[in-house]
Amino acid sequence: MNHYKIAIVGAGPAGYFTAQALQNEANDERTFSIDLIERLPTPWGLVRSGVAPDHPKIKTVAKVFEKVAADPNFRLFANVELGKDLQLADLTDRYDAVVLCTGSSKGKNLGIPGEELPNSISAAEFVPWYNGHPDYEKFEVDLSGKVALVIGAGNVAMDCARMLAVEAHELDETDTAEHAMKKLHESEIKKVFITARRGAEFAAFTAPELRDLPKLEHTDVYINQDDIDMAQTRAAAKGEIEKHVASNLEAMRLIAESTKSGNEKSMEFLFQYVPKEIVGSGKVEGVIFDTPNGEKRIDCDLVISAIGYESIPYVGVEFEKGKIKNVDGRVANSNIYTVGWAKRGPSGVIGTNKSDASDVVELLLTDLSTPKNVGDITEVLKSDHLVVDQSYWQRINEAETKAGESAGKPRIKGTSIEALLSLGRP
Ligand code: NAP
């Protein structure tokens, strides 16, 4: 019987699905001790700080994560930062394999003039801000203007736009961070544009998310019917329209045809708007676009770019093109592997990480030989380091959930490291 020790860094969906894939591979010949290391005092990654608060069903996957964590051979080491509290070599020396599931948390730059103006922000800041990520507790979002403009045609852009375009009271029973709820209740934003640089046939939105939009009670959603007709014609001219494109266009057509109720708040999609410059004196006042009908300016008070993410590099492994340099999840000449956005870039839904993890674990298993059996993370961490282990996290989780009960919310989140640590203190 071989007993292997595996360290996983990053307790988001990729980390948990990697642990689950390893647990599924345990048998009479091999078992695995899994140590899951996480920088924040809270696990669950994007399920906690990425998924939009008004999409609670997506977050139910956390039940799977907690089941993984209940295995006696699983340990959580949260509040432990790679590069600060320990180095990658501390793990590669001691564990049979190290799986990096550190995601990609930096927003890609547009690379156009004016991007640095105040009130031009990234979804990589706005999303963790409304979700109560401790790094963004003090982030300032100015919602005092009337018009917001979101650049990008993916689901993150749609989440950002929807969070601004619904009435704040519709979010009262969600786990949106308290600081964000206060700002959203005071928000003056009435109109939110979503701009796509290409035609509707290339939009990265997914159909279920689009289909939810006409159901919004207090927000009118506009798409120009001509944009959909032209997209359909262009796509058909290239041959058979792909299934996901057809259902996206169909969902967009339903939005175009939906009855508008004259709501004060609205969302409007603009296609073939290539951002050229963000303009304003002292702060954002508008965005200039190249369009098929020439240059157009849209006046706005806030710009959110939601054009994808890249990994923030760290020492001990090579990064290229915003990801960890790897071949199918293997990092060359090492016992390091990677799963999730750190491996493949910021694509796919949460479930995509499940198959990704299984594929990488399959490779990892073929590389394993005799177990190292030379200690673990506990030898490296300072004796007074406050580790948030599974029971500490459970206390945080219970305290947050209990705080939410009286307000009819799934939870009220601790939004600073100190607050989270004190919520779980025994
Ligand atoms: P995404 O789906 O890759 O969309 C990025 C968008 O940004 C694309 O429309 C892209 O247009 C555009 N873009 C890129 N560079 C640009 C530039 N320089 N100027 C203007 N536009 C630019 O990324 P995402 O929205 O960040 O989402 C990441 C992943 O998370 C996706 O797989 C998404 O489905 C998933 N997600 C899922 C949900 C959900 O299931 N509810 C929610 C949120 C996120 P081009 O196509 O022209 O490059």
pLDDT tens by residue, 84-131 = 999 999 999 999 999 999 999 999 999 999 999 999 999 999 999 999
Residue of minimum CA distance from atom 42 in ligand 1: 155
Which residues form the pocket of ligand 1, taking CB atoms under 6 Å from any ligand atom? 55, 110, 151-157, 159, 196-198, 202, 204, 206, 209, 275, 306-308, 346-349
Q: What is the pLDDT of residue 393?
A: 98
DSSP string computed for 260-297:
P---SEEEEEE-S-EEEEEE-SSS--EEEEEETTEEEE
Q: Hey, which of 60, 197, 350 would you mutate to test ligand 1's pocket, going by the most ligand atoms within 8 Å of its Cβ?
A: 197
Residue of minimum CA distance from atom 18 in ligand 1: 110
Mean pLDDT of the chain: 97
What 3-state class would DSSP assign to 78?
strand
pLDDT tens by residue, 201-260 = 999 999 999 999 999 999 999 999 999 999 999 999 999 999 999 999 999 999 999 999
What mean pLDDT do residues 325-344 have? Answer: 98
CA of 242 to the centre of ligand 1 (A): 18
CA of 201 to the centre of ligand 1 (A): 14
Q: Hey, which of 156, 202, 271 would you mutate to test ligand 1's pocket, going by the most ligand atoms within 8 Å of its Cβ?
A: 156
pLDDT tens by residue, 6-57 = 999 999 999 999 999 999 999 999 999 999 999 999 999 999 999 999 999 9
Residue listed under structure tokens 């790897």? 326
Q: Relative to the CA of 348, which ligand 1 atom is closest?
A: 32
CA of 280 to the centre of ligand 1 (A): 26
What mean pLDDT do residues 61-79 have? Answer: 98
**119 in the Ramachandran plot: left (φ > 0), alpha (ψ -120 to 50) or beta?**
left
Q: What is the pLDDT of residue 157?
A: 98
Q: What is the pLDDT of residue 194?
A: 98
Residue of minimum CA distance from atom 21 in ligand 1: 152
Q: Hey, which of 149, 155, 211, 311 would you mutate to test ligand 1's pocket, going by the most ligand atoms within 8 Å of its Cβ?
A: 155
Q: Relative to the CA of 307, which ligand 1 atom is closest?
A: 7
| Sign of the torsion angle spanned by Cα atoms 287, 290, 295, 296 | negative
> Would 2-105+311-388 and 107-309 be classified into the same CATH topology?
no
Q: What is the pLDDT of residue 104?
A: 97
**179 in the Ramachandran plot: left (φ > 0), alpha (ψ -120 to 50) or beta?**
alpha
The tokens for 53 are 């608060």
Q: Relative to the CA of 55, which ligand 1 atom is closest?
A: 41
DSSP string computed for 116-150:
TSTTEEEHHHHHHHHTT-GGGTT------SSEEEE
* End-to-end CA gap in the chain: 38
- The domain spans of the chain are 2-105+311-388, 107-309
C-alpha span between 256 and 258 (Å, rounded)? 6
Residue of minimum CA distance from atom 14 in ligand 1: 307
Task: Select from 3.30.1360.230, 3.40.50.720, 3.20.20.70, 3.50.50.60 the CATH code of 107-309.
Answer: 3.50.50.60
**Please, what CATH class does the domain formed by 2-105+311-388 belong to?**
alpha beta
CA of 231 to the centre of ligand 1 (A): 18
Angle between helices 155-165 and 123-130 (to 10 degrees): 50
The model's confidence at residue 307, banded by pLDDT at 50, 70 and 90, is: very high
pLDDT tens by residue, 134-151 = 999 999 999 999 999 999
What 3-state class would DSSP assign to 64?
helix
Percent of the chain exceeding pLDDT 70 equals 100
C-alpha span between 46 and 58 (Å, rounded)? 11
pLDDT tens by residue, 309-323 = 999 999 999 999 999
CA of 108 to the centre of ligand 1 (A): 11
The model's confidence at residue 184, banded by pLDDT at 50, 70 and 90, is: very high
C-alpha span between 265 and 287 (Å, rounded)? 21
